[in-house]
Structure 1
């Protein structure tokens, strides 16, 4: 546990790398589970609760940290629910790779927040990232848009919507985690998991979806999704981020969408062309530029 409390720059960076690689498996588990978008979101959160609560007991932490924590956690959970459901549905429509790459446009949501609300300076990186992202998006989706199926078009729109909800979730999570040590951060993750489990459960009921899980294999994939991606990966990233310089964080976290695209090709035999690959490379480059667009010395107040 000491390495999580104070990993230092070398191990901190390694923790973020491992966490990003583990999270890249998320959309793979969503597809393999064979359940609906809202049900997979529910089980991701519900099955992550036992290990998180056990971890909280082990470190002798307390889950109630005050009404302010509860209020921010509730807002984060609402955005997280919308993020997961839109993302899961887009995964089922357009595949793990593309859905995850487009969802990571959340860096532009965070950049816009920094510029418009925190009044950070617009940097050359951000100016360059915008046209590069548009070109990349066009090469991935726009070339085939007019001939694509309704499912593909809806999947792309849902993935881009995911970026907004994901960005909002990250902002509230940062606000929530800023003043807490490791024990407090784990307590906050527990609170978000509890609230998001409740909200996603209500969505499943309200939408008429089923909680049914078709097979033992599906349960195993859902359990892996919750424990590996929701608990272990986020714990590693949360512990390593404060010890990793921002420009490296942006590059390392690209392992998530890049990894998802690679898994999509290797596991689900995603068809691709040279134009698509070029679009992916440009889009990942734009995401990296956007994630490292804060000027030196400028930090988010959230």
Structure 2
């Protein structure tokens, strides 16, 4: 009996790797986090318009997946905004852990809604993944101030909205012969409109300071939002929701690695042990017996 990885699982795996570079590009952009989130989906939308035109996908829109894509854009905007505000209250460490509680939500939805069998191996992998993520980032629970609890609430909203976004994305792309790009244009367009409106309301500046910042933001939109989410959304309906949620934990784990490699983040054995545990857990979740 051999162990193999299906093409859909491999697709989500590579999509998560691409998205993991988002933190690098956001850091290099030197703009406010809300503005970087806006340009991520704005540039992503512009780039996705090109293959839509080349494939003549504008004539292939159906009402039901179109409405689902609008919902995706709304919940992805909620996810990005709540996560950025969560960081301001509790810091990036706990915010990342809370946001990635989506893995539990996806597992529960998979088990109760789609009747997926989780199994002992998956539950072990899930537990190890969260433990490893905790070891990577760490957090201080001693400061339970009202502001801290507000941040925890925002983190829970992040996890819930991200889960709904993934489930709606699965629905949008679950039919036969679904166009690859047009619904992603709708998702990114709606998200850009919402985040841009909030940025205007908050008085944030959309000015891009220099060429290197522009290059980072363009790459963020092209790679993280354009390429990665096209790949993930295409394969998402072909992978169990529980397994997909676990594989997407690759993104925060690798973001930690890139932070060390590119920005000389100080870390110790605990952090690297956490990375090893998360990657091992994801490996357990990805593999299947053929």
Could you say which TM-score interval applies, normalised by the shorter chain? 0.7 to 0.9
Answer yes or no: is the 8 Å Cα contact 2:136–2:256 preserved in 1: no
Q: Is residue 46 of structure 1 aligned with residue 42 of structure 2?
A: yes
Q: Could you say which residue in structure 2 is the equivalent of 1:234?
A: 229
Deviations, residues 90-116 of structure 1 (Å, cap 9, x unaligned): 678856x88666644322211111234
Answer yes or no: is the 8 Å Cα contact 2:169–2:233 preserved in 1: no
Cα separation, partners in 2 of 1:58 and 1:78, compared to 1, 3 Å: same
Q: Could you say which residue in structure 2 is the equivalent of 1:208?
A: 203
From 214, 231, 249, the counterpart of 1:219: 214
Answer yes or no: is the 8 Å Cα contact 1:63–1:190 preserved in 2: no
Q: Is residue 198 of structure 1 aligned with residue 189 of structure 2?
A: no
Q: Is residue 23 of structure 1 aligned with residue 19 of structure 2?
A: yes
Structure 2: unaligned runs, 5 residues or longer: none
Q: Is residue 86 of structure 1 aligned with residue 90 of structure 2?
A: no
Deviations, residues 153-211 of structure 1 (Å, cap 9, x unaligned): 987875565333221110010011111525x2311111111111111111212233222
Answer yes or no: is the 8 Å Cα contact 1:31–1:91 preserved in 2: no
1:238 shift after superposition = 4.2
Answer yes or no: is the 8 Å Cα contact 1:104–1:287 preserved in 2: no
CA RMSD, Structure 1 to Structure 2 (Å): 4.1
The CA distance in 1 between the partners of 2:217 and 2:153, in whole Å, is: 25
Answer yes or no: is the 8 Å Cα contact 1:48–1:230 preserved in 2: yes
The CA distance in 2 between the partners of 1:280 and 1:152, in whole Å, is: 26
Answer yes or no: is the 8 Å Cα contact 1:43–1:226 preserved in 2: yes
The CA distance in 1 between the partners of 2:133 and 2:10, in whole Å, is: 30
The CA distance in 2 between the partners of 1:286 and 1:12, in whole Å, is: 18
Cα separation, partners in 2 of 1:200 and 1:228, compared to 1, 3 Å: same
1:60-99 correspondence runs (5 A)? 60-62=56-58, 65-88=61-84, 94=91
User: May I ask how many residue pairs the two structures share in their alignment?
Assistant: 285
1:1-302 correspondence runs (5 A)? 16=12, 18-62=14-58, 65-88=61-84, 94=91, 103-129=99-125, 131-133=127-129, 135-136=131-132, 138-140=134-136, 144-146=140-142, 161-181=157-177, 184-239=179-234, 253=248, 255-286=250-281
Structure 1: unaligned runs, 5 residues or longer: 1-8, 297-302
Cα separation, partners in 2 of 1:87 and 1:180, compared to 1, 3 Å: farther
1:59 shift after superposition = 0.7
Answer yes or no: is the 8 Å Cα contact 1:49–1:190 preserved in 2: yes
1:235 shift after superposition = 2.7
The CA distance in 1 between the partners of 2:258 and 2:69, in whole Å, is: 32
TM-score, with structure 1 as normaliser:
0.74
The CA distance in 2 between the partners of 1:157 and 1:136, in whole Å, is: 22
Answer yes or no: is the 8 Å Cα contact 1:109–1:167 preserved in 2: yes
